Amino acid sequence: MSSLAPSTLVALLHGPDQPGLVARVAGWIFERGGNILHADQHRDMEAGIFFQRIEWVPSQGAASADTAGFHSFAASLGMQAHVTASSHRPRVAIFVSKFDHCFHDLVLRWKSGDYACELVAIVSNHRELESSARGYGLPFYVIPVTSATKPEGEAAQLELLRSLDVELVILARYMQVLSEDFLEKFARPVINIHHSFLPAFAGGRPYHQAAERGVKLIGATAHYATAVLDDGPIIQQDVTRVTHRHGVDDLVRKGRDLEKIVLAQAVRWHLESRVLVYGNKTVVFD
Protein backbone atom coordinates (compact mmCIF):
# COMPACT_ATOMS: atom_id res chain seq x y z
CA MET A 1 0.00 0.00 0.00
CA SER A 2 1.34 3.44 -0.90
CA SER A 3 2.37 5.62 2.02
CA LEU A 4 0.10 8.34 0.53
CA ALA A 5 -2.98 6.10 0.46
CA PRO A 6 -5.44 6.74 3.29
CA SER A 7 -5.98 4.07 5.91
CA THR A 8 -9.39 2.56 5.37
CA LEU A 9 -11.82 0.27 7.14
CA VAL A 10 -13.42 -2.69 5.39
CA ALA A 11 -16.58 -4.29 6.72
CA LEU A 12 -18.06 -7.61 5.67
CA LEU A 13 -21.59 -8.11 6.93
CA HIS A 14 -24.44 -10.49 6.37
CA GLY A 15 -27.82 -11.34 7.82
CA PRO A 16 -31.55 -11.42 7.05
CA ASP A 17 -32.46 -9.17 4.15
CA GLN A 18 -34.71 -6.20 4.89
CA PRO A 19 -35.61 -2.92 3.19
CA GLY A 20 -33.20 -0.01 3.50
CA LEU A 21 -30.04 -1.85 4.52
CA VAL A 22 -27.79 -0.19 1.95
CA ALA A 23 -29.08 3.26 2.87
CA ARG A 24 -28.76 2.66 6.60
CA VAL A 25 -25.18 1.41 6.35
CA ALA A 26 -24.19 4.34 4.14
CA GLY A 27 -25.99 6.73 6.47
CA TRP A 28 -24.17 5.39 9.54
CA ILE A 29 -20.79 6.00 7.87
CA PHE A 30 -21.82 9.45 6.59
CA GLU A 31 -23.05 10.57 10.01
CA ARG A 32 -19.59 9.85 11.45
CA GLY A 33 -17.75 11.78 8.80
CA GLY A 34 -16.59 8.77 6.80
CA ASN A 35 -16.09 8.69 3.03
CA ILE A 36 -17.15 5.51 1.22
CA LEU A 37 -14.67 4.30 -1.40
CA HIS A 38 -16.20 0.97 -2.46
CA ALA A 39 -19.48 -0.80 -1.78
CA ASP A 40 -20.82 -4.05 -3.14
CA GLN A 41 -23.72 -6.21 -2.07
CA HIS A 42 -25.43 -9.48 -2.90
CA ARG A 43 -28.72 -11.09 -1.95
CA ASP A 44 -29.20 -14.83 -1.73
CA MET A 45 -32.68 -14.97 -3.22
CA GLU A 46 -33.48 -18.45 -1.92
CA ALA A 47 -32.23 -17.96 1.65
CA GLY A 48 -33.19 -14.27 1.92
CA ILE A 49 -29.72 -13.32 3.19
CA PHE A 50 -28.09 -9.98 2.49
CA PHE A 51 -24.30 -9.70 2.06
CA GLN A 52 -22.22 -6.56 1.78
CA ARG A 53 -18.62 -5.45 1.57
CA ILE A 54 -18.06 -1.76 2.19
CA GLU A 55 -14.80 0.17 2.43
CA TRP A 56 -14.51 3.69 3.76
CA VAL A 57 -12.06 6.30 5.00
CA PRO A 58 -13.04 7.16 8.59
CA SER A 59 -12.84 10.72 9.82
CA GLN A 60 -9.50 11.62 11.40
CA GLY A 61 -8.89 9.71 14.61
CA ALA A 62 -12.15 7.77 14.39
CA ALA A 63 -10.90 4.38 13.12
CA SER A 64 -11.03 2.61 16.50
CA ALA A 65 -14.40 4.07 17.39
CA ASP A 66 -15.83 3.20 13.98
CA THR A 67 -14.54 -0.38 14.24
CA ALA A 68 -16.21 -0.96 17.59
CA GLY A 69 -19.29 1.06 16.72
CA PHE A 70 -19.94 -0.70 13.43
CA HIS A 71 -20.21 -4.07 15.17
CA SER A 72 -22.88 -2.69 17.49
CA PHE A 73 -24.65 -1.00 14.59
CA ALA A 74 -24.67 -4.21 12.53
CA ALA A 75 -26.01 -6.18 15.49
CA SER A 76 -28.88 -3.70 15.82
CA LEU A 77 -29.84 -4.65 12.26
CA GLY A 78 -29.63 -8.36 13.03
CA MET A 79 -26.44 -8.61 10.98
CA GLN A 80 -23.07 -10.21 11.68
CA ALA A 81 -20.06 -8.06 10.83
CA HIS A 82 -16.30 -8.32 10.58
CA VAL A 83 -14.27 -5.11 10.33
CA THR A 84 -10.60 -4.82 9.42
CA ALA A 85 -8.25 -1.90 8.87
CA SER A 86 -6.15 -1.65 5.71
CA SER A 87 -3.19 -0.72 7.90
CA HIS A 88 -3.29 -4.14 9.60
CA ARG A 89 -0.87 -6.69 8.13
CA PRO A 90 -1.95 -10.22 9.14
CA ARG A 91 0.78 -12.59 10.31
CA VAL A 92 0.91 -15.57 7.93
CA ALA A 93 2.56 -19.01 8.02
CA ILE A 94 2.98 -21.27 4.98
CA PHE A 95 2.93 -25.04 5.50
CA VAL A 96 4.87 -27.04 2.91
CA SER A 97 6.12 -30.59 2.31
CA LYS A 98 8.30 -31.34 -0.73
CA PHE A 99 6.43 -29.77 -3.68
CA ASP A 100 7.78 -26.27 -4.18
CA HIS A 101 5.80 -24.59 -6.98
CA CYS A 102 3.11 -22.98 -4.83
CA PHE A 103 5.67 -22.12 -2.14
CA HIS A 104 7.94 -20.18 -4.53
CA ASP A 105 4.99 -18.47 -6.22
CA LEU A 106 3.51 -17.22 -2.93
CA VAL A 107 6.84 -16.02 -1.53
CA LEU A 108 7.79 -14.16 -4.70
CA ARG A 109 4.41 -12.45 -4.82
CA TRP A 110 4.83 -11.46 -1.18
CA LYS A 111 8.36 -10.17 -1.72
CA SER A 112 7.17 -8.07 -4.67
CA GLY A 113 4.58 -6.41 -2.44
CA ASP A 114 1.48 -8.12 -3.81
CA TYR A 115 0.32 -9.27 -0.38
CA ALA A 116 -0.34 -6.93 2.54
CA CYS A 117 0.80 -9.35 5.23
CA GLU A 118 3.80 -10.41 7.29
CA LEU A 119 5.16 -13.82 6.29
CA VAL A 120 6.53 -15.01 9.63
CA ALA A 121 7.17 -18.75 9.16
CA ILE A 122 7.61 -21.59 6.72
CA VAL A 123 6.62 -24.82 8.47
CA SER A 124 7.36 -28.24 7.03
CA ASN A 125 7.43 -31.91 7.86
CA HIS A 126 10.52 -32.28 5.61
CA ARG A 127 13.79 -30.41 5.08
CA GLU A 128 13.73 -30.26 1.28
CA LEU A 129 12.70 -26.58 1.12
CA GLU A 130 14.81 -25.34 4.03
CA SER A 131 17.61 -23.86 1.92
CA SER A 132 15.11 -22.15 -0.38
CA ALA A 133 13.23 -20.60 2.55
CA ARG A 134 16.42 -19.38 4.20
CA GLY A 135 17.57 -18.03 0.82
CA TYR A 136 14.48 -15.84 0.87
CA GLY A 137 15.39 -14.75 4.39
CA LEU A 138 12.41 -16.56 5.91
CA PRO A 139 12.45 -18.60 9.14
CA PHE A 140 12.02 -22.32 8.46
CA TYR A 141 10.69 -24.75 11.06
CA VAL A 142 10.86 -28.52 10.67
CA ILE A 143 8.22 -30.40 12.65
CA PRO A 144 8.10 -34.07 11.62
CA VAL A 145 4.60 -35.51 11.32
CA THR A 146 3.86 -39.19 10.79
CA SER A 147 0.78 -41.27 11.48
CA ALA A 148 2.38 -42.40 14.74
CA THR A 149 3.45 -38.92 15.87
CA LYS A 150 0.60 -36.79 14.48
CA PRO A 151 -0.79 -35.62 17.87
CA GLU A 152 2.67 -34.58 19.09
CA GLY A 153 3.53 -32.95 15.76
CA GLU A 154 0.33 -30.95 15.61
CA ALA A 155 0.75 -29.88 19.23
CA ALA A 156 4.20 -28.52 18.36
CA GLN A 157 2.76 -26.75 15.30
CA LEU A 158 0.04 -25.14 17.39
CA GLU A 159 2.54 -23.98 19.98
CA LEU A 160 4.64 -22.39 17.24
CA LEU A 161 1.64 -20.67 15.63
CA ARG A 162 0.53 -19.26 18.98
CA SER A 163 4.02 -18.02 19.83
CA LEU A 164 4.18 -16.19 16.48
CA ASP A 165 0.57 -14.96 16.72
CA VAL A 166 -0.19 -16.38 13.27
CA GLU A 167 -3.55 -15.24 11.90
CA LEU A 168 -3.65 -17.25 8.66
CA VAL A 169 -2.14 -20.58 7.61
CA ILE A 170 -1.68 -21.39 3.92
CA LEU A 171 -1.28 -25.03 2.96
CA ALA A 172 0.95 -24.80 -0.13
CA ARG A 173 0.71 -28.46 -1.14
CA TYR A 174 1.31 -29.54 2.46
CA MET A 175 0.81 -33.27 2.10
CA GLN A 176 -0.73 -33.89 5.49
CA VAL A 177 -4.37 -33.74 6.57
CA LEU A 178 -4.89 -31.36 9.48
CA SER A 179 -6.95 -32.98 12.20
CA GLU A 180 -10.25 -31.66 13.51
CA ASP A 181 -8.52 -31.09 16.85
CA PHE A 182 -5.85 -28.91 15.20
CA LEU A 183 -8.41 -26.80 13.35
CA GLU A 184 -10.55 -26.31 16.45
CA LYS A 185 -7.60 -25.27 18.59
CA PHE A 186 -6.07 -22.96 15.97
CA ALA A 187 -9.52 -21.42 15.38
CA ARG A 188 -8.26 -19.15 12.59
CA PRO A 189 -8.50 -19.45 8.81
CA VAL A 190 -6.55 -22.13 6.96
CA ILE A 191 -6.47 -21.95 3.15
CA ASN A 192 -5.71 -25.15 1.24
CA ILE A 193 -5.01 -25.77 -2.44
CA HIS A 194 -6.40 -29.03 -3.79
CA HIS A 195 -5.24 -30.27 -7.17
CA SER A 196 -8.64 -31.03 -8.64
CA PHE A 197 -11.89 -29.26 -9.44
CA LEU A 198 -13.76 -30.14 -6.27
CA PRO A 199 -16.00 -31.92 -5.51
CA ALA A 200 -14.57 -34.18 -8.22
CA PHE A 201 -11.57 -36.31 -7.27
CA ALA A 202 -11.25 -35.40 -3.60
CA GLY A 203 -8.54 -37.08 -1.56
CA GLY A 204 -5.22 -38.43 -2.79
CA ARG A 205 -3.77 -38.78 -6.32
CA PRO A 206 -6.49 -36.74 -8.09
CA TYR A 207 -4.50 -36.45 -11.33
CA HIS A 208 -4.27 -40.24 -11.49
CA GLN A 209 -8.00 -40.43 -10.82
CA ALA A 210 -8.65 -37.90 -13.59
CA ALA A 211 -6.49 -39.78 -16.08
CA GLU A 212 -8.22 -43.05 -15.30
CA ARG A 213 -11.63 -41.41 -15.73
CA GLY A 214 -10.65 -39.87 -19.06
CA VAL A 215 -11.80 -36.36 -18.20
CA LYS A 216 -11.54 -33.49 -20.70
CA LEU A 217 -11.02 -30.84 -18.02
CA ILE A 218 -8.81 -30.77 -14.94
CA GLY A 219 -8.89 -28.12 -12.28
CA ALA A 220 -7.62 -26.74 -9.01
CA THR A 221 -9.55 -25.55 -5.97
CA ALA A 222 -8.56 -23.21 -3.16
CA HIS A 223 -10.77 -23.59 -0.11
CA TYR A 224 -10.85 -23.09 3.62
CA ALA A 225 -9.83 -26.24 5.45
CA THR A 226 -12.44 -27.93 7.63
CA ALA A 227 -12.66 -31.17 9.57
CA VAL A 228 -14.09 -32.89 6.47
CA LEU A 229 -11.33 -33.57 3.92
CA ASP A 230 -11.48 -31.31 0.84
CA ASP A 231 -15.00 -30.16 1.74
CA GLY A 232 -14.46 -26.64 3.09
CA PRO A 233 -15.93 -23.41 1.66
CA ILE A 234 -14.53 -22.83 -1.82
CA ILE A 235 -12.78 -19.51 -2.50
CA GLN A 236 -11.51 -19.93 -6.07
CA GLN A 237 -11.39 -22.55 -8.82
CA ASP A 238 -10.11 -22.78 -12.39
CA VAL A 239 -9.80 -25.42 -15.10
CA THR A 240 -7.78 -26.25 -18.20
CA ARG A 241 -8.60 -28.58 -21.07
CA VAL A 242 -6.91 -31.94 -21.56
CA THR A 243 -7.32 -34.68 -24.15
CA HIS A 244 -6.77 -38.39 -24.52
CA ARG A 245 -3.18 -37.58 -25.55
CA HIS A 246 -2.31 -36.27 -22.07
CA GLY A 247 -0.89 -38.77 -19.57
CA VAL A 248 -0.61 -38.36 -15.82
CA ASP A 249 2.68 -36.44 -16.11
CA ASP A 250 1.04 -34.00 -18.51
CA LEU A 251 -1.88 -33.50 -16.14
CA VAL A 252 0.49 -32.88 -13.24
CA ARG A 253 2.47 -30.32 -15.25
CA LYS A 254 -0.62 -28.47 -16.46
CA GLY A 255 -2.20 -28.70 -13.04
CA ARG A 256 0.73 -27.06 -11.28
CA ASP A 257 0.18 -23.87 -13.25
CA LEU A 258 -3.46 -23.87 -12.20
CA GLU A 259 -2.60 -24.54 -8.56
CA LYS A 260 -0.30 -21.53 -8.36
CA ILE A 261 -2.78 -19.13 -9.94
CA VAL A 262 -5.81 -20.36 -7.99
CA LEU A 263 -4.05 -20.34 -4.62
CA ALA A 264 -2.49 -16.92 -5.27
CA GLN A 265 -5.88 -15.40 -6.08
CA ALA A 266 -7.57 -16.96 -3.06
CA VAL A 267 -4.88 -15.64 -0.73
CA ARG A 268 -5.15 -12.16 -2.23
CA TRP A 269 -8.93 -12.08 -1.82
CA HIS A 270 -8.68 -13.28 1.76
CA LEU A 271 -6.05 -10.68 2.70
CA GLU A 272 -8.14 -7.94 1.08
CA SER A 273 -11.20 -8.98 3.13
CA ARG A 274 -13.18 -9.95 0.05
CA VAL A 275 -14.32 -13.40 1.18
CA LEU A 276 -17.43 -13.81 3.31
CA VAL A 277 -18.09 -17.33 4.57
CA TYR A 278 -21.58 -18.51 5.45
CA GLY A 279 -22.32 -22.16 6.05
CA ASN A 280 -20.21 -24.14 3.64
CA LYS A 281 -20.29 -21.49 0.93
CA THR A 282 -18.58 -18.17 0.24
CA VAL A 283 -19.48 -14.85 -1.28
CA VAL A 284 -16.37 -13.40 -2.92
CA PHE A 285 -16.51 -9.67 -3.61
CA ASP A 286 -14.03 -9.44 -6.46
So which residues are the catalytic ones? 230
Write the DSSP symbol of residue 179.
P
Q: How far is residue 157 from each of residues 35, 94, 102, 145, 211, measured CA to CA in Å? A: 42, 12, 20, 10, 35
170 neighbors 106 (Cβ within 8 angstroms): yes
Q: How far apart are CA 196 and CA 189, in angstroms?
A: 21
Q: How far apart are CA 70 and CA 80, in angstroms?
A: 10
| 59, burial (CB in 10 Å: exposed 0-12, middle 13-18, buried 19+) | middle
Q: How far apart are CA 267 and CA 246, in angstroms?
A: 30
The total number of residues written for the chain in this structure: 286
Q: How far apart are CA 271 and CA 74, in angstroms?
A: 22
Q: How far apart are CA 234 and CA 282, in angstroms?
A: 7
Look at residues 225, 247, 232, 242 and name the one whose alpha carbon lies nearest to residue 279: 232
Write the DSSP symbol of residue 54.
E
Buried-state track 200-238, b at ≥16 Cβ within 10 A, e below 16: ebeeeebbebbbeeebeebbbbbbbbbeeebebbbbbbb
